Amino acid sequence: MELSGKNTMVVGLGESGLAVVRFLAERGARVRVNDQRDRKGLGAAAAEAEGLGAELVLGGHPASAFEELDLIVVSPGVPALAELDRAEERGVPVVSEVELAARFIEAPIVAITGTNGKSTVTTLIGEMSRCLERPQFIGGNLGRPMIEAAGTDAGGKGGLVIVELSSFQLERVSQMKVHVAVLLNITPDHLDRYPSFDAYAAAKARIFERQDAGDFAVLPADAPDLRELIDDAGTVVLFDGRSGDVRVVDGVLTDTRSSIRVPVEQLRIRGSHNVSNACAAVLAARLIGVRDDDIASVLRDFKGLAHRSQYVRSVDGVEYIDDSKATNVGAAVASIDGLAGSKGKIVLIAGGVDKGGSYQPLRQRMSEEGRAVVVLGEAASLLERAFADSPVEIRRATSMSDAVTHAASLARPGDTVLLAPACSSFDMFRSYAQRGDHFQRAVETLGEQA
């Protein structure tokens, strides 16, 4: 794809958008940037883009800005726009950042998607693959934009690109070919953006576009409905469940096609959902040639990621777990499932910005495993209605510190206080990470008072 002298537009000047501006400018393209935010809202990103020679069109999406273009690159957070549809009707290519990146990457791509567990699995595969002694890029939705791999040794024929991909990033994929594509799960999420669950699932399934028999589609064995999403894909291989190539056998995580045997009790990541994540990572790592001993060693050493079922501390016989990354109902339910069977009950802290799904699955699991729910944020009223007349006690909090105080007063020795909000964080916090940090600080304060 020739970019020099082309008229290009980047829509959305977030982290990936700015990375695309750099990439296009370095290759001699004329770059126009369009963003709903104004210069003040964009801050340093606007100044950097302008310093790279980009023309800025800010504060809206005027139709005139989308004329006489050879290429439009859309950032993941940008919603559907009529201007983009009209540009496509005129024959202008409209692609995502990851699609553009893939067109300049020669290395095999390992990509992980799903509603929950993507970051954990991506990081695990990255750690396992370090022994391959080849240039590597690890990023995507997890961190560094995928476009940063293009033109590097990691993106060359001798490299390896491992990326987490969200549904937003996959919406405009057409030519990206993924050598090992991992789909972990799909549960209702982002229904404030997609017209239906089927539309959301279809976006996830685009990870298999362009695969052939020499590639691999990694899917959970106990979710046949996910296989129905795939029209054309690579060789299907399964993990977890009763028939997965990698699954738990008598308490031991077992790769049935290799020598890998790791007792589940030796894993340092908590919860049954993380055991499933580990199975997926082992399978993907084996498919790209990682040695059995290296895979097993990483499994035993990996402590997990911050704010993902992260043990904080115990206070007065109560464990506190930070799963702030559980930003949808499916993730919160998975977090509860991972704690099921412990001797005590769960006191759940939930709430934030509602994402348009039903809270019924959360109510059901908490009715079985829970003692109380502490709600906060914009979705507090919705959660109170969802849990009305349920067996668990409901309290409303005004802040995270208040929520932890309420939870501590409700919990009994042997219980677990679990932050699994089932909502996004942007009503009260900049990110799920900041929300988790506030939770952990509040828990530490409890410990000092104990």
What are the tens digits of pLDDT across the range 355-401? 888 999 999 999 999 999 999 999 999 999 999 999 999 999 999 99
Question: What pTM was estimated for this model as a whole?
Answer: 0.84
Same domain for 339 and 296:
no
List, for residues 61-84, the tens digit of each pLDDT value.
999 999 999 999 999 989 889 999
Please indicate, yes or no, whether residues 323 and 355 belong to a single structural domain of this protein.
Answer: yes
Residue 272 lies in a domain: yes
Strands 136-140 and 71-74: unpaired
**Residue 229 in this model has a pLDDT that exceeds 90:** no
Q: Could you tell me the CATH number of the domain that includes residue 411?
A: 3.90.190.20
Confidence band, pLDDT 50/70/90 cuts, at residue 449 = very low
| Catalytic residue check, 190 | yes
Question: Which residue from 422, 234, 205 is spatially nearest to 329, judged by alpha carbons?
Answer: 422
Question: Looking at the domain assignment, is residue 2 inside a domain?
Answer: no
Boundary (domain end) residue, out of 301, 330, 361: 301
Domain span at residue 372 reads 310-449
pLDDT reported for residue 112: 98
Burial 95-124 (b: 16+ CB within 10 A, else e): bbbbbbbbebbebbbbbbbbbbbbbbbbbb
Let me know if 141 is a catalytic residue. yes
Please provide the DSSP assignment of 385-404 as one string.
HHTTTSSSEEEE-SSHHHHH
pLDDT for position 270: 79
| pLDDT tens digits, one per residue of 342-361 | 789 999 999 999 988 899 99
Q: How high is the pLDDT of residue 448?
A: 59
CA distance 298 to 290: 11
377 Cβ neighbours under 8 A, 6+ residues apart:
351, 352, 353, 421, 423, 427, 428
Q: Kindly tell me the burial class for residue 264, based on how many C-beta atoms sit within 10 Å of its own C-beta (0-12, 13-18, 19 or more).
A: middle
Residue 150, domain CATH: 3.40.1190.10
Catalytic residue chosen out of the listed positions 141, 185, 277, 328 = 141
Out of 118, 179, 204, 438, the active site residue is 118
- Of 89-103, 187-201, 396-410, the poorest mean pLDDT is in 187-201
Residue 166 shares a structural domain with residue 290: yes
pLDDT at position 450 over 60:
no
Whether residue 64 is found in the same domain as residue 105: no
**One domain for residues 369 and 316:** yes
Let me know whether 215 and 116 are in one domain. yes
Share of the chain above pLDDT 90, in %: 84
- Domain finish residue from 70, 92, 114: 92
Range in 4-13, 277-286, 331-340 with the lowest mean pLDDT: 331-340
84 & 126 share domain: no
> Are residues 341 and 417 both part of a single domain?
yes
Catalytic residue among 34, 116, 185, 190: 190
Q: Which CATH number covers residue 70?
A: 3.40.50.720
Name the nearest CA neighbour of 449 among 315, 313, 322: 315
Q: What pLDDT, in 10s, does the model give residues 263-287? A: 999 998 878 889 999 999 999 999 9
Asked, for residue 374, whether it belongs to a domain, the answer is yes
Of the residues 92, 124, 144, the one at which a domain ends: 92
In the residue annotation, 157 being an active-site residue is answered as: no
Residue 192 has pLDDT above 80, yes or no: no
Does residue 89 register a pLDDT over 90?
A: yes
Q: Retrieve residue 218's tokens.
A: 């990694």
Q: What is the pLDDT of residues 194-208, one digit of tens each?
A: 889 899 999 999 999
Give the pLDDT band (50/70/90) at residue 447.
Answer: low
Q: How many domains does the chain have?
A: 3
Average pLDDT over residues 165-188: 93
Q: Is residue 33 part of a domain?
A: yes
